[in-house]
Chains A and B, each alone.
Chain A
Amino acid sequence: MKLEISGSEVIAAPVEVLWASLNDPAVLTRCIPGCKRMTETGPDAYMVEMQLRVAAVGGSFEGEIALTDKEPPRRCRISVSGSGSLGHGNGEAHFEISAQDDGHSLLSYSGTGEIGGLVAGVGQRILSSVSKHLIGRFFTALRQQFEPAAQAAGAQR
């Protein structure tokens, strides 16, 4: 089945800092939901191992991520393809970062993907909402990278 994603998020970090984080496997491993490991396999190429649960099924996913058409620190194309017990998937997204006031950045993204196998069959009805939820988790985790103080204050209240 085909899947489309798009959206934009404001992140409390300057453009360069955000760009650096999005190119840092350690940060991505923390932020991508279910990501167990991310290994650099070449320039702008990574191997990713994930463990996810969608609807009634859970399982593993191993994929390759490649970054292309890079225009630091503003634009990049990211393509993902892989497979695992959950099924197979591939997709491509484009993201763009622009500066906001107060050292914030606006990250806009849009992309399409195709998913097959178990997860497409079992989770099709809820797959687009699951993908939104997973993207939401990614950004929540990403924001936490840049808001340790706010998070600590929140914990104290």
Chain B
Amino acid sequence: MSAIAKLRYVSTPRRVREDRRFVAGHGRYVADIKAEGTLHVALVASPHAAARIVSIDASAALAMPGVHHVLTGEELAAGTDPLMNGLDTPEVRRYPLAVGQARYAGEWVAAVVADSRALAEDAAERVRISYEVLPYVLDAERALEPDSTPVHPGHGSNVLLDRTFVWGEVDKHFAESPYELSFRVIWGRSSTVPIETFGVLASWDPWRNMLEVWASIQMPKYSDQIARAVRLPANAVRVHQDVDVGGSYGVKRGIKQTVIVAYLSRRLGRPVRLIEDRLENMRAGDAHGPDRIFDVSVAFNAEGIIRSMKMRALDNVGAYAGRSPFQLGKPVGAIVGPYQIQSVQYRAVSVTTNKAAQEAVRGFGQAPTNYAIETAIDKVAEKLGLDRIEMRRRNFIRKEQFPYLIPSGSTYDSGDYHTVVAKVLDHVQWPALEQERDRLRAKGLLAGIGIAACLEPSGGNSSFEPLLNPKNTTTTWMDSCRINVDLLGDITVTIHTTSSGQGHETLAATVVGEVLEIDPDKIRIMRPDSLTSLPSNSPVGSRMAIMLGGAAFHAAHKLKRKLLRIAGHQFGLAGDQLVYAGGGIAARDGKRKLSWMDLVLIAHRHIHMMPPDTEPGLEASHIYQVPTGGILPTPDGRVQMYPCHSFEFHVILVAIDPDLGKPEIRRYVIGHDCGTVINPHIVKGMTLGGIAHGIGAALLEEFVYDEQGQMITQSFMDYLLPSSHEVPKVEIVHHCTPSPFTVLGQKGSGESGYLGAPAAISGAINDAIRPLGISVGKLPIRISALSDAVAAARAKSSVTS
């Protein structure tokens, strides 16, 4: 860490520059991009969970005026290559439109192209498809059985991944421990539901041999994946990254949608646009997240010290693979949470079923894993009659133990969990909170306190790729930044990905301004298209404060060094005789000084005044490697996953009317330590949004399939989102333990709140219903399930008494 002695802009509550245009309604989203002659796409979906496509009759649709084409899976597959699989599963082929067979209800089977979206929708109703219904499998446990109907017969089974990792002496630790307990918890399939559905506009220019793409995207290696699928050189695909994205939180993957419009634009010679409607998005867009069953065993002693853990995570990825199985890999980097668990056995199982394909969702599998770990801690405390907070304190990694190597091979950078807990307990006045819970109970309500302590691995590396796919040897996941100072001395910084609301313009301007000691508000931030960008990945894995922040920091220092060389040459002084201040450079003796504009003028106009072998102009760029990355996993699956580990500690109070079963969050306090905060408003917004998202996952949101494989929660009438009624006021207690591995001590915060909220809410509800002798172990905890369980328990107790 190259510390800056006194921070001027970093960590100060400066205005988030992007907010102005968003709040005023002047964002520029993909739907705002106009291209002359654009055609529009609507999709025809499979009504069956599994069916052979016998025939597609598009004649009635094509006879309608204004309808240009009806694209089938057969035609598209002939002109494109299958989409990328993360794992080495070549027979699990995925095309944007079903080829030969539909594998889930809602899967896109044909795309209708017309002069308007409305016309395309009308024509889609005229496409006649005859199906032969096939057997299907929905349940992950069933899919794991060798005789289950394979979703992809060519693959031979439904198992995409089944690997057991053993890190440390698990059997020995279990044998030596006086206590053990086992349990199952289930994380229901939910999403992140951005306000803007996925949208993409593609335009093929045959005269320049160029595919122009505007998309609402948050996908790593997006343009490369498009180029490969549509069989174009990568330098013929130009993705415009200066498009605002109306929310993503992981799900804006968009490859299949883009391949459809890219193919159609080349086929029809017109710009083609696809903006999903909400039903397309919920049924078959990239909306669904992890759908996971955890079986956990822990071995511990009478003091509650957990020595070893066995975890099986069975993930239902739905009909196609993509990158989703990697969501079992990322949690390997924080598999023991904030605790000193000495050994771990982790069995990661990924199966296909006839549900919609799973995609990345905020945390990339970490929030479900945290929920399982925190449930274990609560259960051990209950079994031993220990206070749940004391239980955590005893098991926490201690401040002086960092950097701390966990059994699965990642080194945690820094943390001070005990202090964060102490600050939160002080803030909530713990005895008063317990009294309030007891007062609510005395009033006849069910009331409980929920606690969650968990980590946010951040700085998004992709080490889970080589970990789970031996053919993949990726060891870098870089990000980049370029700074250009023009003749008038104004600064333009380029960043090389899209943003989906994370405030990267503010981030980059703040860091460059900090290093160069220039007001960030004077710095212009631009996003070049993908062909004029430096190598970068996308803002995933809670990485941009670390990665874009790191790239901007280093680029600014390179620029500063050039300025110092110019000044040193002018003064005839060595670097240590120079003082940089506010953009100008003075000789240490104070006699000579060059202002920012003097230096700019020399660089742009006066090569004769420059040091020899110096390039004219003022430009610097930096491609930043993920700190601590660069090493392949060991054969037994130990790997450094992400470099940084933010900590969050949730304490909440929930009250439940026993007749209604509706949980109401009465108090929500979170202690948050993400190291050096670059912009407090952005971090606060991330945390509040993450908690709201966590409330949805814990209580409301689920993609439910009926026994016939029909998804029955595909509109907002049935897929319930948290509203202002469900999201309480959140009190945030800050702490800062800088990371030793990053330029400013920053860690990530893009997933904060979400990673612990479901565990805390589950813990609070279980605390509330514990007196009834019942517990709940499946998220979301729907009101109906809770009220039924409470009613059954009360009926039983009235019978026995």
- Decide whether A and B assemble into one complex: yes
A residues contacting B by CB (< 8 A) are 1, 55-57, 59-60, 62, 83-85, 87-88, 114, 116-118, 120-122, 124-125
Per the CB 8 Å criterion, the residue count for chain B at the interface is 20
Q: Does B717 contact A (CB under 8 A)?
A: yes
Determine how close the nearest CB of chain A comes to the CB of B277; give it in whole angstroms.
11
A-side contacts of B47, CB under 8 Å:
83, 87-88, 116-118
Q: Which residue of A lies closest to B48 (CB)?
A: A116
A83 to B56, CA, bound (A): 13
Q: Are B708 and A116 in contact (CB under 8 A)?
A: yes
B717 cross-chain contacts in A, Cβ below 8 A: 55-56, 122, 125
Task: List B contacts of A114 (CB < 8 A).
Answer: 708
Determine if A122 and B714 form an interchain contact, defined as CB atoms under 8 angstroms apart. yes
A58 to chain B, nearest CB (A): 10
Residues in chain B near residue A116, CB distance under 8 A: 47-48, 105, 708, 710
C-alpha spacing A2/B680, complex, angstroms: 53
Chain A residues with CB below 8 A from B124, complex form:
85
Q: Which of A59, A84, A117 contacts B710 (CB 8 A)?
A: A117
Tell whether B125 is near chain A: CB-to-CB under 8 Å: yes
The 7 closest A-B pairs by CB, nearest first: A117-B47, A85-B125, A121-B714, A120-B710, A124-B712, A88-B47, A60-B125
Query: Can you spell out 19 A-B residue pairs with CB atoms less than 8 angstroms apart?
Result: A1-B706, A1-B712, A55-B715, A56-B715, A59-B125, A60-B125, A84-B125, A85-B125, A116-B105, A116-B708, A117-B710, A118-B47, A118-B279, A120-B706, A120-B710, A121-B106, A121-B710, A121-B712, A122-B717
Q: In the assembled complex, how far is the CB of residue B15 from the closest CB belonging to chain A, in whole angstroms?
A: 40
Mask: chain B, 696-725; 1 = CB below 8 Å from A; 0 = not: 000000000010101111110110000000
B107 CB to closest chain A CB, in angstroms? 12
B45 an interface residue at 8 Å Cβ cutoff?
yes
Nearest CB on A from B70, distance (A): 14
Tell me which residues across on chain B come within 8 A of A117, comparing CB atoms: 45, 47-48, 105, 710
Q: Give the docked Cα–Cα distance between A85 and B105 (Å).
A: 13
> B318: shortest Cβ distance to chain A, in Å?
15
Quick check: B706 and A88 within 8 Å, CB to CB?
A: no
Most B CB within 10 A of own CB, among A55, A87, A114, A121: A121
- With a cutoff of 8 Å between Cβ atoms, the chain A residues found around residue B128 in the complex are 62
CA distance A55 to B279 in the complex (A): 13
Chain A contacts for B714, CB-based, 8 A: 121-122
- Whether a CB of chain A sits under 8 angstroms from the CB of B283 is yes
A120 touches B125 (CB 8 A): no
* B residues at A contact (CB < 8 Å): 45, 47-48, 105-106, 124-125, 128, 279, 283, 706, 708, 710-715, 717-718
Residues of the B chain whose Cβ atoms lie less than 8 Å from the Cβ of A87: 47
* Residues in B neighbouring A120, C-beta threshold 8 A: 706, 708, 710, 712
Q: What is the bound-complex CA distance between A116 and B714, given in angstroms?
A: 13
Q: Is the CB of A121 within 8 A of B708?
A: no
Contact between B708 and A1 (Cβ–Cβ < 8 Å)? yes
* Bound-complex Cα distance A72 to B411 (A): 83
Contact B105 A121 (CB under 8 A): yes
Contact among A55, A59, A88, A121 for B283, CB-based, below 8 A: A121
In the bound assembly, the distance between CA atoms of A57 and B124 in angstroms comes to 14
Query: Is the Cβ of A122 less than 8 Å from the Cβ of B706?
Result: no
* B97 shortest CB reach to chain A, Å: 17
CA distance A56 to B106 in the complex (A): 16
Cβ of B48 and Cβ of A124 under 8 Å apart? Answer: no
**What chain A residues lie within 8 Å of B106 (beta carbons)?**
121
- CB-CB < 8 A to A125: which residues of B? 717-718
User: How far does the Cβ of A62 sit from chain B's closest Cβ, in whole Å?
Assistant: 8
A114 to B125, CA, bound (A): 21
Bound form: Cα–Cα A148–B673 in Å: 78
Minimum CB–CB distance from A54 to chain B (whole Å) comes to 12
Give the chain A neighbours of B711 by CB distance below 8 A.
121
Find out whether the CB atom of A124 lies under 8 angstroms from the CB atom of B706: yes
Q: How far is the CA of A118 from the CA of B717 in the complex (A)?
A: 14
Which residues of B lie under 8 Å from residue A122 when comparing CB positions?
Answer: 279, 714-715, 717-718
Which chain B residues border A84 with CB–CB below 8 Å?
A: 125
A12 to B47, CA, bound (A): 40
**Given the complex, which residues of A lie within 8 Å of B718, measured CB to CB?**
122, 124-125
